[in-house]
Amino acid sequence: MVTMFGLSVGSLLGGITVIEILFSWPGMGELIVQAVMQRDYPVIQGYILIVGCLVVVTNLIVDLLYLVVNPQINQGKESV
Q: What is the pTM of this model?
A: 0.74
SS3 32: helix
Residue-wise pLDDT tens digits, 6-54? 888 878 888 888 888 888 888 888 899 999 999 999 999 999 999 899 8
Tell me if 3 sits within 8 A of 58, measured CB to CB: no
Number of H helices and E strands in the chain, helices first, is: 3, 0
SS3 26: coil
Q: Tell me the C-alpha distance between 40 and 36, whole Å.
A: 6
Instruction: Compute the half-sphere exposure of residue 17: CA atoms within 13 Å on the CB side of its CA.
Output: 14
Amino acid at 58: T
